[in-house]
Amino acid sequence: MTIDDLEQLASGQGWPPPHAGALAEVLLENFASPDARLRDALSFTLMDRLIEDGLLTLRQRVDLLRTALDDAHLFLGIGESITDRVFRRSFSVLMVPMVLGPDLSAGELPEDLVIWTLDRVLAYAQAERDWRGYVADKGWAHAVAHTADALDIVGRHPKTPLPQVSEVLSVIHYLAMLAYPLGYQEDDRLAFAAYRIIQSGRMSPDAIQAWLDCFQRLSGPDDQTETLGGANAEHFLRSLYFRFRAKDREHPWIDPIQTALDRFDIFLLYPQPDIEL
């Protein structure tokens, strides 16, 4: 299918398509394109519309998810840091919220598929090494943000075993403390995922507190590692703090988050002498 064909579909011409399943397979392969228009504005948007409009059968959605998370898609070139294959990986992981999102209430997907999906996402999050946000002339890679969206869904899915919900938050902690400059609102996406998982009630207060206690300053091989990891954690915790505060200014998790945040505040860690004016 050409870009012109996809442009027509995006404008509503020929929608709904007569062969939705075949179109979805083409769109999934387009996720690998370094062309932002083809990959993001057209293929991703049309894939989302196919699912949202109910044009794909359960079997087709399951097959798409399994393909997206296989070694030739989600794990293609894993470990590389600056190659175009990041687009295939980071957009493949977005099939998780697209397929599992509607299933939060529908409950159609089998439990073994949900658990397999969870395991693949957790493994991918810890194996990815290309954390670029926006790539000049090629658009969004955004692996951290896209992974956050997937973690949000698998962490809240009712068929995710309760012990593994803690693993999801552990991976969010890992991503929130990457020693890489995250400057494209990844902190907000990660905080939103953590917020929704905590609010889902699937974790005990003790487990949530233990997770917050894990946010401690890094002692890395150099100052840059400590500084970047600490800055990312501070931004994440600040975003999480205000997410809860926006919900309820007296929310019981606000003070524990503030305590964790204080561990990264350089003005508390290294008090400055008062200056008399």
Q: Is residue 50 in a domain?
A: no
CA triplet 200, 203, 204: central angle to 5 degrees?
125
Q: What angle do the packed helices 58-68 and 20-30 form, to 10 degrees?
A: 20
Q: Is residue 48 in a domain?
A: no
| Token pair of 123 as six digits | 């493994």
- Give the integer Cα–Cα distance in Å for 127 and 130: 10
pLDDT of residue 2: 93
pLDDT of residue 272: 74
Q: Is residue 32 in a domain?
A: no
| Token pair of 260 as six digits | 């964790």
The residue range of the domain holding 214 is 57-269
Per-residue pLDDT of the chain (277 residues; tens, 9 = 90+): 899 999 999 999 999 999 999 999 999 999 999 999 999 999 999 999 999 999 999 999 999 999 999 999 999 999 999 999 999 999 999 999 999 999 999 999 999 999 999 999 999 999 999 999 999 999 999 999 999 999 999 999 999 999 999 999 999 999 999 999 999 999 999 999 999 999 999 999 999 999 999 999 877 666 788 899 999 999 999 999 999 999 999 999 999 999 999 999 988 887 777 766 5
pLDDT of residue 224: 82
Q: Is residue 106 in a domain?
A: yes
Q: Specify burial of residue 12 (Cβ count, 10 A radius: 0-12, 13-18, 19+).
A: exposed
Asked if residues 147 and 93 have their Cβ atoms less than 8 Å apart, the reply is: yes
What is the number of structural domains in the chain? 1
Q: What angle do the packed helices 162-176 and 111-127 form, to 10 degrees?
A: 20
Q: Is residue 45 in a domain?
A: no
CB neighbours of residue 126 within 10 Å: 12
pLDDT of residue 112: 97
pLDDT of residue 221: 61
DSSP string, 2-68: -HHHHHHHHTTTTPSPS-HHHHHHHHHHHTT-S-HIIIIIIIIHHHHHHHHTT-S-HHHHHHHHHHH
| Token pair of 147 as six digits | 């992974």
- Give the integer Cα–Cα distance in Å for 25 and 1: 11
Q: Is residue 3 in a domain?
A: no
DSSP string, the chain: --HHHHHHHHTTTTPSPS-HHHHHHHHHHHTT-S-HIIIIIIIIHHHHHHHHTT-S-HHHHHHHHHHHTSTTTTTTTTT-SSSTHHHHHHHHTTHHHHHHTTHHHH--S-HHHHHHHHHHHHHHHHH-----SEETTTEE--HHHHHHHHHHHHHH-TTS-HHHHHHHHHHHHHHHT-SS---SSHHHHHHHHHHHHHHTT-S-HHHHHHHHHT------SSHHHHHHHHHHHHHHHHHHHHHHHHH-TT-TTHHHHHHHHHTT-HHHHSPPPP---
Q: Is residue 36 in a domain?
A: no
For the whole model, what pTM was predicted?
0.95
- Give the integer Cα–Cα distance in Å for 221 and 156: 36
pLDDT of residue 276: 64
Biggest alpha carbon–alpha carbon distance for the chain: 75
